[in-house]
Amino acid sequence: MKVRINYQEREFPPGTTFAQVVNDIRESQKDDPVTRSLVAETGRDHIVFSLNGRVVMVQQCDSLELKEGDDIRWMHPYAGG
């Protein structure tokens, strides 16, 4: 199925959860200087995630299964998140 992540279309197998995508994004950003600094100072990366225009709380990630055409966006707090 096709899902958009920050305006880029990506393909995922059916049954993919929002949490899986969040983990992939966090893993891809772990070497980013801002992410490393935030984790070192606060213990968290503070990346904000939204699904179809609604902010997703951490507690909701595991229960959300992605659907064809979903729009996921994420941003670092330094970008205004």
User: Do β-strands 71-75 and 48-51 pair in parallel, antiparallel, or remain unpaired?
Assistant: antiparallel
Residue 64: CATH number of its domain: 3.10.20.30
State how far the alpha carbon of 36 is from the alpha carbons of 24, 32, 77, in Å: 16, 6, 13
- Domain membership of residue 70 as a residue range: 2-79
| CB within 8 Å of 51: residues ≥ 6 apart | 18, 64, 70, 71, 72
3-state helix, strand, coil in the chain (%, to 5): 40, 25, 35
- State how many domains the chain has: 1
What is the model's pTM?
0.87
pLDDT in tens, the chain (81 residues): 999 999 999 999 999 999 999 999 999 999 999 899 999 999 999 999 999 999 999 889 999 999 999 999 999 877 654
